[in-house]
Amino acid sequence: MDKDKEKQEISLIGRLFSLEALLLLMGLFSLVSGIMSGKVIQIFWGVMIVGGAVVLYFVKKKDWKKHWEDQDRLRQAHEERIRRERDERKEP
């Protein structure tokens, strides 16, 4: 039972210090320091970094294997429909 708790703690620490979290903290720091100093370029980069971190989070969250399987299934269904339509035009 202690090993499970250790794994959970390591997982939590890993999530806290993940690349996405560090990017988000960097973006927030840049944004806040830009607001405090009044430098527009720092605010711009802060917004860009925070936006990029959010996009990265959602991209990593998506189940890409399922997505590509769905795309393959749709492509095959589309090709089959086109094949049937082509065959129907040839029959008359």
Give me the residues of the chain with pLDDT under 70, please. 1-17, 91-92
Domain boundaries, the chain: 2-90
Instruction: Looking at 1-92, list the stretches that DSSP marks H as alpha helix, in order from N- to C-terminal side.
Output: 2-16, 19-37, 40-61, 64-90
pLDDT in tens, 63-87: 778 888 889 999 999 999 999 988 8
For residues 46 and 25, the answer to whether their CB atoms sit within 8 Å is no
Indicate the pTM of the whole model. Answer: 0.53
